[in-house]
Structure 1
Amino acid sequence: MTDRTAQAADYAAAGFGQELEPGSRPALVLVDPARAYIDPQCPLYAGVEENVEAMRALLTAARGAGIPVIVTEVRLRADGADAGIFFKKSGTLVAFCEGSPYGELIEGLEPTADELLVTKKYASAFFGTTLSTYLTALGVDTVLIGGLSTSGCVRATTLDTMQHGFVPIVVEEAVGDRDPSIHASNLFDIRQKMAEVWPLVRVEEYLSRDRL
């Protein structure tokens, strides 16, 4: 793993990485926990089984705390036309087209009947969906983020979480990517520019606190 001590010092000197204070009304957004990322037969296989286990632990903690839970999925037409340029750029999105089993949610990460399933066509969970208004209506001020993949849909969702006025907290072990170096680089950049990145144990402690 790259030692980013000097880089972190440089970013700090430039004013990046200011600490965001989480609020008292969190929600969990679990981004695209799809079979594609853990099935070796799929080109999107990312070897993120350990991250998936952390997602299960995060989901358990969120449910135990009684906070809103939102799970996202990507579902596309057979020809991918509803994903436009995104589909043209990333041929791997065929994994999420009609008839593909790879778009199904990983066992143990499906939403319950009381939780929200958001179907999206693009990277961000906010783009073209009602997620922002849903969170606002519930009075949410902080969004915990897990899911796949760090450099793609997790990053896009984190950026939009911040841009919609919610404090984003990415749960370090509960996100993953096919390339460890890209995963680490994106977490570093996310921490510096748009969100907090917390270990799972800190998130679990945060969720165990009494709330207003």
Structure 2
Amino acid sequence: MDDFEDHCWQDVYSADVLELYRPYRRPLYVGPRPAVLLIDLYQLAYAGGPKPISDVSKMFPSSCGIAAWNALPPTQKLLAAARRAQLPIFYTTGCVPKSKGAMAATQRGGRRPDESDFVIQPDVAPEEGDVIITKERASAFFGTLLATNLTRLGIQSLIVAGETTSGCVRASVVDAYSSGFHVTVVEECCFDRSELSHKVNLFDMHHKYADVLKIEAVLAHLAKA
């Protein structure tokens, strides 16, 4: 197994499938003039506490259960390193739909959220100078000023973390790539309700739209910044 495929999806894809994707292999890196983009690390994703998703999903269908909590320590490391390197840090969060029939970021049932659900989790809370982008759809770019803010700051690359890997992270990564940004996705700092969806979507992004790197590789890069 070479370094390009040395990731969490190894137990999902056979050697034959990996061989089909050999043409996508390339050098992996954190791009120039990066900013950090933390997607939807709000209270709703952590609702019910650090428990198996099967234990919390009925009462909290938007929770990612233990996967969300497991991603906190590496995300804290990423944030600390980014702050030391003085990188711009952007957070996204959601909002309460304006009306009962209004479209939300995803087509999910369950109780109607309130404003407190969209407060960023305290363990990875924004600090003064960080930018919080409120979005109504899956992508951090759709209907927001994110691209404008990034361009104004001269940002050329994004380091992405958050949730869900298969939903808002992927949508944002595709839009970032389509907008001309080099994208690095930090493997341990992303999470999903489904472990399989998490692995499959990281695989897809890695081979098409982003460089998926492990947290230690990203930290090593930021230490040199």
Matched, 1:68 2:88: yes
Cα distance, 1:179 vs structure 2: 0.9
The aligned counterpart of 2:52 is none
Report the Cα distance in structure 1 between the residues aligned to 2:218 and 2:204, rounded to whole angstroms: 20
**TM superposition shift of 1:24:** 2.6
Gaps of 5+ in 1: none
In the TM superposition, 1:189-200 aligns within 5 A as 189-200=204-215
Determine the structure 2 residue equivalent to 1:115: 130
Counterpart of 1:57 in 2: which secondary structure? helix
1:50 aligns with 2:73: no
Match of 1:94 among 84, 97, 112: 112
1:150-169 to 2 correspondences below 5 Å? 150-169=165-184
Take 2:98 and 2:134, find their aligned partners in 1: how far apart are those partners?
15
User: What CA distance in whole angstroms lies between the structure 2 residues aligned with 1:159 and 1:68?
Assistant: 20
CA RMSD of aligned residues (A): 2.0
TM-score under structure 1 length normalisation: 0.87
Cα distance 1:69–1:106, how it changes in 2: closer, same or farther (>3 A)?
same
Offset of residue 159 of structure 1: 0.6
Q: Is the 8 A contact 2:40 2:94 kept in 1?
A: yes
The 3-state SS of whatever aligns with 1:158 is: helix
What amino acid does structure 2 have at the position aligned with 1:32? D
- Quote the Cα distance in structure 2 between the aligned partners of 1:76 and 1:6: 45
Cα drift, residue 100 of structure 1: 4.9
Unaligned stretches of 5+ residues in structure 2: 1-10, 49-58
* Distance in 2 (alpha carbons) for counterparts of 1:160 and 1:19: 22
Residue of structure 2 equivalent to 1:11: 21
What is the aligned residue count? 203
* Whole-angstrom CA distance in 2 between matches of 1:194 and 1:93: 34
- TM-score for both structures, normalised by structure 2: 0.83
Structure 1 residues 9 and 165 mapped into 2: Cα distance closer, same or farther (>3 Å)? same
Give the % identical residues.
30
Q: Structure 1 CA distance, aligned partners of 2:156 and 2:213?
A: 17
**1:185 paired to 2:193:** no
SS of equivalent residue, structure 2 residue 158: strand
